[in-house]
């Protein structure tokens, strides 16, 4: 039913030749299918087609040529099917840098920028030559943010997806931090025998039954393995929390992104598996539980 409705609402008519008119036409088409920020997205799509910055789209003189109009219609049709915008454009912004992203790789969200900021704030407190672990690296967003924060920090970044690891490798190479990051195929700690001063993770934490109710961009197109946290959403998080004490140096830090409403359960669970000097849950900018933060104490 949803796909039939989208088909009815697909863009009608020919693509206007003038950029300013095309911008309005694209925005109206996106608005009809329920895109939350139609003008912003229209500007980004048109800028991608024209090869200019978003601010230039509505003011550039001239006309879109036939190939530009064909490509614009192709991208617009896909976006109206709720295909994720970052997959269409091939990139997504994260903190102060740009990440390439492709289908099959989880798209980093603003909430994960909050996780990265908290991890980067800890980096100056780590000893010289410290090591960090990024579990489930995806695009490499967290690993790259850490590697950019300090030249002597070494990062191991893992994922079960070869597509994701290749994407992360390319991002690290393009951003000039490849020599500071080691990429490994690993399911959680499976191929990680070392200990670290910092572990970060943005694991799947959506309860399985809730996945069909997520926005179509997520439920239809993004990799399910990056979403599905099991029956309650905490299955992978519990595995990371229980495994991390063996892989943390004394006074090492664990930072995980979590789902809203999971904080109390995970705090209780974490207290049962290790002696923590600090253990807390922090909220994101929307005031929703989002980050579990722990500093490991002496082994008992």
Which pLDDT tens digit goes with each residue over 62-85? 789 999 999 999 999 999 999 999
- Structural domains in the chain, sorted by start: 2-82 (no CATH), 91-296 (3.40.50.150)
Q: What is residue 13's predicted lDDT score, i.e. its pLDDT?
A: 61
Task: Report the DSSP pairing between strands 196-201 and 131-135.
Answer: parallel
Read off the pLDDT of each residue in 148-172 and give the average, rounded to a whole number: 97
| Threshold 0.85, pTM exceeds | yes
Query: Catalytic residue positions?
Result: 106, 202-203
Given a cut of 70, whether residue 6 has pLDDT beyond it is no
Which pLDDT tens digit goes with each residue over 95-154? 999 999 999 999 999 999 999 999 999 999 999 999 999 999 999 999 999 999 999 999
Given a cut of 70, whether residue 161 has pLDDT beyond it is yes
Given a cut of 90, whether residue 48 has pLDDT beyond it is yes
Contacts of 283 (CB under 8 A, 6+ apart): 289, 290, 291
Of 232, 300, 299, the closest CA to residue 266 belongs to: 232
Give the separation between CA 128 and CA 174, rounded to whole angstroms.
26
Of 200, 198, 147, the closest CA to residue 171 belongs to: 147
């Amino acid at each position: 039913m949803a796909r039939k409705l989208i088909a009815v609402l697909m863009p009608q008519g020919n693509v206007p030749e003038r950029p300013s008119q095309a911008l309005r036409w694209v925005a109206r088409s996106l608005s009809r299918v329920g895109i939350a920020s139609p003008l912003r997205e229209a500007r980004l799509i048109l800028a991608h087609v024209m090869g200019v910055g978003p601010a230039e789209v509505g003011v550039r003189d001239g006309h879109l040529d036939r190939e530009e109009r064909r490509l614009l219609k192709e991208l617009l049709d896909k976006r109206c099917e709720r295909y994720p915008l970052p997959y269409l454009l091939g990139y997504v912004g994260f903190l102060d840098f740009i990440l390439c992203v492709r289908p099959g790789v989880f798209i980093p969200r603003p909430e994960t920028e909050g996780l990265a900021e908290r991890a980067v704030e800890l980096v100056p407190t780590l000893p010289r030559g410290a090591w960090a672990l990024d579990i489930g690296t995806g695009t490499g967003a967290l690993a790259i943010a850490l590697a950019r924060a300090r030249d002597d920090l070494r990062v191991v970044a893992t994922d079960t997806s070869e597509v994701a690891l290749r994407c992360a490798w390319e991002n690290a190479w393009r951003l000039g931090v490849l020599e500071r990051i080691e990429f490994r195929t690993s399911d959680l700690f499976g191929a990680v025998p070392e200990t670290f001063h910092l572990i970060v993770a943005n694991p799947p934490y959506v309860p399985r039954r809730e996945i069909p109710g997520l926005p179509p961009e997520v439920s239809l197109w993004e990799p399910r393995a990056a979403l599905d946290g099991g029956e309650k959403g905490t299955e992978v998080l519990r595995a990371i929390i229980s495994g991390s004490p063996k892989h943390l140096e004394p006074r090492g830090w664990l930072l995980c992104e979590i789902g809203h409403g999971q904080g109390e359960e995970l705090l209780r669970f974490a207290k049962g598996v290790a002696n923590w000097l600090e253990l807390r849950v922090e909220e994101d900018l929307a005031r929703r539980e989002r980050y579990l933060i722990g500093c490991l104490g002496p082994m008992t």
